[in-house]
Amino acid sequence: MLEAIFMAAIRAGTPLLYATLGEIFAERSGVLNLGLEGLMLAGALMGFVVSHITSSAWLGVLGALLIGGVLSLVYAFLTITMRVNQVVAGLALTMLGAGLSGYYGQAFIGKTASQFSPIYIPFFSDIPFIGKVLFSHDPLVYLSYVLVPLSWFYIFKTRWGMNLRAVGEDPKTADTVGISVFKIRYLYVILGGMLTAVGGAYLSLAYTSMWIENMTAGRGWIAVALVIFSAWNPLRALLASYFFGGVASLQLRIQAMGVAISSHLLMMLPYALTIVVLSLISSEAMRKRIGAPTALMKPYSREERE
């Protein structure tokens, strides 16, 4: 029973984790990307379509990476070069992703594609309880296990990570010491978009194996909240994602067991939590306290002086 709940938490948390990781990179460089929902949808469809055509789920992931990269390149151009308001551009990206995927996806509803299935890992999968909970998943889950500590190490322990954080904290100073603010922001916004799109592809290639219009069902927004919840730290992002995934699947399980709590209340849980977190972050003081990148949402321009 407990085993099944933890397993479900990881399954449901993995798409959130990819999106949260991606957004951490983008936000660490000082760019808020509210387009996660759109990127995930685009990734979910692209991943599914490529896998449908080529019969290779890995090529599907590659397709998701590509579309995530292209869309966030557009987003980067708008917000970094054109200095468009990031909230507005992010919402636009969400609508674009939802609209495009809905339109082009119509032909793929009800189709099948090659999907990821759980892989047994010798020794690890045999450990009682933990083996079942952690090591009875598909390759994309295992990949995320590796990506999390790697991202943490990269952001906090390497020179490149320091540059990234410097650009997000104080782009002017970073510029003065010879770090290219634009290059770095472009790089991490694109990288972030690619990871987010893989989160979407997880939904259509591993969690289920189908394409459905709007199948992300608000997960992109939850990921935006999770970034704050995790205080821009990949390790905490892992816990936060699994926690949210756990809450979401636990409520389904409670219902299925026939416990008499209103299903409306239970279904509200993850979203209520999201609203609370997002309201907290909207205050400037709170953002500083939990360590938000100082230059977040502030477009950088060399000519401008404060």
Partner 1 sequence: MKKAIVVFWFFLMLLYGLSSAESFNVLFVTDVGGLGDGNLNDGCWLGVQRAAKEFNIKAKVIQSFRQEDYLANISDGAKQGDIVMVAGLLMSDVVAKAALMYPKSQFVLIDALIDAPNVKCVLFKEEEGGFWAGLVAAAVTGSGKVGYVVGMKTSQAMRFVFGYEAGVRGYSILKGKDVKVLGAYVGTLNDAGKGKEVSLSLFNQGVDVVFQIAGRSGSGVIEAAKERGGRSFVIGVDLDPELMGSGNVLASISRKVDVAAYLSLKDIFNGGFKGGVSRLGLREGGFDLVETKILRGFLSQEDLDLIERLKGLVIDGVLVVPSSEEELAKFVPPKSL
Which residues contact partner 1 (rule: CB under 8 A)? 4, 8, 11-12, 110, 203, 207-210, 212-215, 217, 248-249, 252-253, 255-258, 263-264, 267
20 or 163: CB nearest partner 1: 20
Shortest Cβ 23–partner 1 spacing (Å) = 20
Least separation in angstroms between residue 5's CB and partner 1 is 9
Nearer to partner 1, 149 or 218 (CB): 218
C-beta closer to partner 1: residue 264 or 305:
264
Query: Which residue lies nearer to partner 1 by CB, 242 or 300?
Result: 242
Indicate the residue among 12 and 292 with the shorter CB distance to partner 1.
12
The number of angstroms, rounded, from the C-alpha of 268 to the middle of its chain's C-alpha atoms is 21
- Minimum CB separation of residue 88 from partner 1 in Å reads 26
**Least Cβ distance, residue 297 to partner 1 (angstroms):** 30
Contacts 24+ apart (CB under 8 A), 77-82: 79/31, 79/189, 79/299, 80/31, 80/182, 80/185, 80/186, 80/189, 80/299, 80/300, 81/182
Contact criterion met (CB below 8 Å) for 294 and 170: yes
- Tell me how far, at minimum, the Cβ of 179 lies from partner 1, in Å: 40
Nearer to partner 1, 270 or 293 (CB): 270
Of 17 and 228, the one with the shorter C-beta distance to partner 1 is: 17
Shortest Å, Cβ 208 to partner 1: 5
Q: Residue 43 CB, nearest distance to partner 1 (Å)?
A: 14
